[in-house]
Amino acid sequence: MKIDKKSLKNIQRLVGNITEKNLQYVDCYISQHLGIFIPSVGFCEYAITPQHTHPAYSFIMFFSEEQSIVPVTIEILPNHYLVAAVSPYIRHEEEKTDMFTRYIAIFISSEFYEKQYSLYSKNSPEDYFWKQFLVNQDIMVYIKKFMSEYEDKKPGYERILESLSDIITHQLIRNTLEIDDSSDLFIGRFQIEKAVAYINQNFGKKLTVGSLAKLANMSKSHFIRTFKKETGLTPIEYLIKVRIDKSKKLLRGKTKSITEIAMQCGFNSTAHFSSCFVKHLGSTPTDYQNIYSK
């Protein structure tokens, strides 16, 4: 995803002295007060900088206990995500390992967060240093809407982004203060979200519909029907789409060969990769990469 100058300026206001290159493996969605960042095919280079800080409040939302970048100190309840919060200007870093972790990082400007927080308490927010709490999975509805509005940029999208920033911020504040706002209305949808998150984290591995259905705690047939209803694609179609999207980002990075990218993205051969790429985009991986070499 190409970052325009306005978005980069907003990102820097939230994240700090970060460059577009630092974000080459990260998907970014940004509004005036809130930004969403998702490591897509590799680490955020700024996140692994030793003892870095951010001007904004940051909330790192993990899809499972195993994917957490910090030791888990609380019980994770069903239909909830683990979140770890860090206050502005608190020094921290993400350890670089052999395998990057896919999570959702939500950055909220300090003035916006504290203004909303004042509606709940006369006191200022505590200093968060990897403060752990749970958030109900229905927050993903608003996160997904925020992402799609930013990508589509339809008329009025900036106002919608600000409204969604309000909702996401209030939901995080309520959960830091342990104000119960749970809902069981979206359990089926979130089981699919769990499978979607797993696919995006493990796109380079051999995945089967059966294993994904087990992850979602559904029968195979029910999982396929529900998955297509929620995403518009079958699980295999979605997996191929994710692999193609990840390969596009790696091709634009121009640091790996076509064969290396094919293997990293889970294709069993360069020929299979090329065939799927042409089917989805109408050009070969080489032609696509050459466009970004000019």
> Domain 195-294 belongs to what architecture?
Orthogonal Bundle (1.10)
Nearest CA-CA partner of 109 in 176, 166, 45:
166
Which pLDDT value is given to residue 293? 62
Q: What is the pLDDT along the chain (294 residues), one digit of tens a residue?
A: 578 888 899 999 999 999 889 898 899 999 999 999 998 888 888 888 899 999 999 999 998 776 677 888 998 887 889 999 999 999 998 877 777 778 999 999 999 999 999 999 999 999 999 999 999 888 999 999 999 999 999 999 999 999 999 999 999 999 999 886 545 435 567 788 889 999 999 999 999 999 999 988 888 888 998 899 889 999 999 999 999 999 999 998 888 899 999 999 999 999 999 999 999 999 999 999 888 765
3-state secondary structure the chain: CCCCHHHHHHHHHHHCCCCCHHHCCEEEEECCCEEEEEECCCCCCCCCCCCECCCCEEEEEECCHHHCCCCCCCCCCCCEEEEEEECCCCCECCCCCCCCCCCEEEEECHHHHHHHHCCCCCCCCCCCEEEEEEEECCHHHHHHHHHHHHHHCCCCHHHHHHHHHHHHHHHHHHHHCCCCCCCCCCHHHHHHHHHHHHHHHCCCCCCCHHHHHHHCCCCHHHHHHHHHHHHCCCHHHHHHHHHHHHHHHHHHHCCCCHHHHHHHCCCCCHHHHHHHHHHHHCCCHHHHHHHCCC
Pseudo-torsion of CA 62, 65, 66, 67, nearest 10°? 10
Q: What is the DSSP letter of 21?
A: G
How far does CA 267 lie from the centroid of its chain? 23
Q: Tell me the pLDDT tens digit for each residue of 160-195.
A: 999 999 999 999 999 999 886 545 435 567 788 889
Q: Is the Cβ–Cβ distance between 71 and 123 less than 8 Å?
A: no
Reported residue count of the chain is 294
Which pLDDT value is given to residue 150? 94
Which pLDDT value is given to residue 181? 54
Strand locations in the chain (E)? 26-30, 34-39, 57-62, 80-86, 104-108, 129-136
Q: Is the Cβ–Cβ distance between 17 and 30 less than 8 Å?
A: no
Give span(s): CATH 2.60.120, the chain.
5-176
- Tell me which fold the domain 5-176 belongs to: Jelly Rolls (2.60.120)
Q: Is the Cβ–Cβ distance between 75 and 34 less than 8 Å?
A: no
Name the pairing type of β-strands 129-136 and 80-86.
Answer: antiparallel
Give span(s): CATH 1.10.10.60, the chain.
195-294
